[in-house]
Amino acid sequence: MSPQATTITYKTIGKLDIPLDIYLPEHSTSSPPVLLWFHGGGLLQGHRSKVPPHFLRSISKYNIALISADYRLAPQVGVQDIFEDVKDCIAFIRSSDGLVKHLDASSKIDISRLAVSGSSAGGYLAFLAGLYIDPKPNVILPIYPITDPLGYFFTIPQPGPLFRDGGAVSSTLPKEALKAMLEEGNEAEVPAAFRDPQGEIVANNPPNSARNKMYGYMLAAANLAELLHLNIGEDSYRDPENDKWRVAKSVATQGLPPTYVVHGDVDRAVGVDQADEVVGVCVGEGVTVQYERLKGKDHLFDVFNEQEDMEGMYVFMAKYLGTASSGKL
């Protein structure tokens, strides 16, 4: 049976409730640490319910309290606002007046031990948590992460990724169709309300929503930085305000906790160069980092292959989460 989630609102802005789901191990004999995971979708789309199978299995396998949290979506808010949601979510988890107040007496968790993970755009949020949250998480686990909205992959038009064949590399679109996709930017398939920065602010979208085409539109339009409200112009690459949101630019000054990065070398939704750059900087700065650069793996490989266990990542996580401490509740 799949583990059951308890949904809790961790933040309210105006009339908008921003929820998280917490999954607790059954029959736990000790207070489990927390593994916080953020979903992908370019910070433009997605839902906390889309948790990869290995995370759900990790709950009982590694005695983990798994949390999947929503956050506000761009372009109706910018990356600064989204990071504020990440910061507030972690504060809610760590506070003795936050998450634990919503759990029954038998559901004890160790809020002193926190791992932050995320997939794709969620991996980007895991990096931002590692850079800017104080105190830092014990460990971060970015999976095929976005790391730089101004990087080449996101500033050059890309074809929409084709996720077929169990997540393996599939044939590309015919040349004519690819050309049309790049020229049209998929705008016809994405309602203007979702592309409008002044549109309704949401913290998730249902699976049948046309908003789920925002990522393909963004790749074809090569406008992620604009959608995240970065400063765009001739000096965008030298703008210190932008540098805060370009992970490799901040590692030297901000540092990172122990970091485990996973990225496939044929990823068509987030180019592997995004991870390569950050891992290289981490090595140069002496950050404790382990890089699993997977040959022949595309985006969402751990979703399409339900048997993918990501064992190396969980071994790394366990090493740096350590043992229970006085933060046990």
pLDDT in tens, 286-324: 999 999 999 999 999 999 899 999 999 999 999 999 755
Which range (114-118, 164-168, 224-228, 308-312) has the least confidence? 164-168
pLDDT band at 138 (very low <50, low <70, confident <90, very high): very high
Left (φ > 0), alpha (ψ -120 to 50) or beta: where does 233 sit?
left
Paired strand residues for 211: none
Quick one: average pLDDT of 86-90?
Answer: 98
CA nearest to 243, candidates 312, 148, 158, 171: 148
Q: Where are the domains of the chain?
A: 5-321
The pLDDT, as a whole number, for residue 171 is 47
> Residue 79 above 80 pLDDT?
yes
5-321 carries CATH number 3.40.50.1820: yes
Residue pair 148/124 in contact (Cβ under 8 Å)? The answer is no
Coil, helix or strand at residue 324 = coil
Coil, helix or strand at residue 275 = helix
Where does the chain show beta strands of DSSP type E?
6-13, 16-23, 33-38, 65-69, 110-119, 139-143, 259-264, 289-294
The pLDDT, as a whole number, for residue 191 is 84
The DSSP code sequence of 163-213 is --GGGS--PPPPHHHHHHHHHHTTGGGS-HHHH-TTS---S---TT-GGGG
Quick one: average pLDDT of 84-95?
Answer: 98
- Cα dihedral 235, 142, 108, 49, rounded to 10, equals 90
The pTM of this model reads: 0.92
The DSSP code sequence of 278-308 is HHHHHHHHT--EEEEEETT--TTHHHH-TT-
CA nearest to 275, candidates 122, 124, 117: 124
